[in-house]
Each structure stands twice: as C-alpha cells, then as structure tokens.
Amino acid sequence: MIKNKTVLVVGSLNMDLVASAARLPARGETVFGERFATFPGGKGANQAVAAGKLGAAVKMVGCVGQDGFGRELMDSLKASGVDTTFVDQVEGATGTALITVETGGANTIVVVSGANAACCPQHVDAALAAETEPGILVVQNEIPQATVEHAIRAAKARGWTVILNPAPARAIGADVMPLVDIIIPNETEMSVLTGLPVKTEADAFAAAARLLAQGVGAVIITLGDKGAVCCRRAEQFHVPPYRVQAVDTTAAGDAYAGALATALAEGKTLRGAMQFASAVAALSVTRAGAQPSLPWRDETDAFISKWEVRV
C-alpha cells in the first residue's frame, strides 16, 4: 500500500475574538453586535486542523504564548489529529485576531501577531530534519517573511511540494516564486500581488498569467461563491462551487488550502483535489467560527455523495 505523504503546515496560531453584527461598521461608525464568541483560529492552525480532521498525517510548525489562549490552541490542534511536536510555547502573548462577521457571512479581520512573530527558520529546520521522505509544505503570510521564504527554500531543496497561500497578501522574493509549486490567493490577494483587478473568471485567468510568468508551477484563485480557477502552463480550467447558505466565511480559504494539501497527499490529481477542497470550504461557511467550522472526513464524504446524487 502506498503511504500518504506528510503535510507540514508552517504558520500562525491565533485566538479569534469574534463579534457578530447585522452589518460591518463603516469607518468611524459604531454598531451594536448580536453575539460575542472566541474560537481557535490563525491561518496556519486552521489549515493544519482542516487537514487533521480530513485524516491527513499533518504536523504544525509555529509559536504560541505560555498563556490560556496558547493552551486552548494546542488542545484544538491535538483534538483534530494534528502533531504539535514543533509548536513552540514562547514568552509573551499568543496571537489574536479581532473579527467582525455580518449576516450573510462576510467579515473583517485585524490580526495582532504576538507569539507568531517568534516563528523562525530554526523551527522549520527542526521539523524538516525529522522527516525521512518529502511531503507537502503549506505556508501562509501571518509569520515573518524571512521564515516563509526559508521554509519554501528548505522544503524545495529536500524535494517537497510547496503550497503558498499568500494571505495576507505580501510580495515574496523573485527568487522564491519559481520554487512555489502551487499558489492559492483569493481575488483580493491576487489583485495585490499582480496589480490587476480580479472580479471575473476572465480577470482571474489574466492575472494568473502574471504569476506563471514569475515561475510559479500552478495558480489556483479562489473566487468565493464563483468557485475557483486553476492555471498552469499546460491547461487552465474552472471548478464550480458547491452552493450553500453561508453564515460565516472565516477560514473558508484555510479549509480550502488544508483540504487541497490533504487530497494531494493522498495522490489525487490537481483537479480532483480542487473539487474536494471546494466541498470542504463550502461546508465550513455553513458554520460559525474558524476551527469549529472545519468538517471531519465522514461529514465531507457524506456531503459530496449527497451532492453527486442531486446533480
């Protein structure tokens, strides 16, 4: 039997402090909220939890503070099947995210890095040194840029597949781009990275060409309720969305990235992995919060088969 590849997520862990309101406040405006809740989050941890709940052999690299939020985040990772050997508990406060969610699911997020700023190349090296076979690296931009770039270089040098989720959007070194096998921005991030508007499928294909020219292997642009597009040298295609009633879109992109890595680790094709990731992201937006919204494998398989019967 062929063993699934290891998924190594290098990234942030945040406690999400979430206010739900009828609508997002405008600049300078105060609105009343309807509910307040805290949820384990952080783009990196969400991606690791997504993969863990889907059954991947997943390890997390990152930093939390030695406080209550840090302990809750560690517990959430472990309960989701994520190996936390390489999550360091450092001095200072755990990262936090202040999130407002409006009816219909749209949100705004302010991240305060805290312990995430301590995630450094040595953390990455320790985790990579423990692996005997190349796996799949997943990295995002809520940790220092030097660590992101180091992780990409070090993993690629060992023959790993590299997935970059450039969130929040930030340019990376021109020498690093060709080392990225798959980049997964959303429309906003894609616009920041390329300077082009990305509103339609056609815009997305045009913008993707810019990143392909910089040497990236494949560009997957997530378009929310319009699905996702993929561009690589040999082909370009659109994967339609699963239409659901959204209540909270927080972590939908993380659900997508974690699920894509899981499916690729299992040996699925890129198109098959995108279809699977699209189902996982759709399920996640039907529930509140970041990590609690991420579906388990049995729920995901049931959702996909129910959908196949319907279409």
Residues lying near ligand RIB in the complex (CB under 6 A) are found at 12, 14, 16, 41-43, 46, 97, 109, 111, 142, 250-251, 253-254, 290
Q: Which is nearer to ligand RIB, 5 or 248 (CB)?
A: 248
Residue type, 214: Q
- Smallest distance from the beta carbon of 11 to ligand RIB, in angstroms? 9
Residue type, 102: E
Would you put residue 235 in left (φ > 0), alpha (ψ -120 to 50) or beta? Answer: beta
φ, ψ for residue 255, nearest 5 deg: -60, -45
- Smallest distance from the beta carbon of 39 to ligand RIB, in angstroms? 7
Q: Which is nearer to ligand RIB, 279 or 281 (CB)?
A: 281
- Smallest distance from the beta carbon of 14 to ligand RIB, in angstroms? 4
Residue nearest to ligand RIB (CB): 41
φ, ψ for residue 34, nearest 5 deg: -100, -30
- Smallest distance from the beta carbon of 18 to ligand RIB, in angstroms? 9
Q: How many CB atoms lie within 10 A of CB 192?
A: 16
Residue of 16, 88, 254, 298 marked active site: 254
- CA-nearest of 47, 120, 121, 112 to 90 is 120
- Smallest distance from the beta carbon of 67 to ligand RIB, in angstroms? 16
- CA-nearest of 230, 231, 216, 283 to 254 is 283
Q: Which is nearer to ligand RIB, 176 or 251 (CB)?
A: 251
Which residues lie below 8 Å from residue 27, measured CB to CB, with a gap of 6+? none
Active site residue 125: no
Q: Give the CA-trace dihedral at 19, 190, 259, 230, to 10 degrees.
A: 150
End-to-end CA distance of the chain: 33
Q: Which is nearer to ligand RIB, 42 or 217 (CB)?
A: 42
Q: Which is nearer to ligand RIB, 16 or 189 (CB)?
A: 16
Q: Which is nearer to ligand RIB, 70 or 217 (CB)?
A: 70
- Smallest distance from the beta carbon of 42 to ligand RIB, in angstroms? 5
Burial of 202: CB neighbours in 10 Å, binned 0-12, 13-18, 19+: exposed
- CA-nearest of 191, 185, 182, 192 to 212 is 182
Residues noted as catalytic = 254
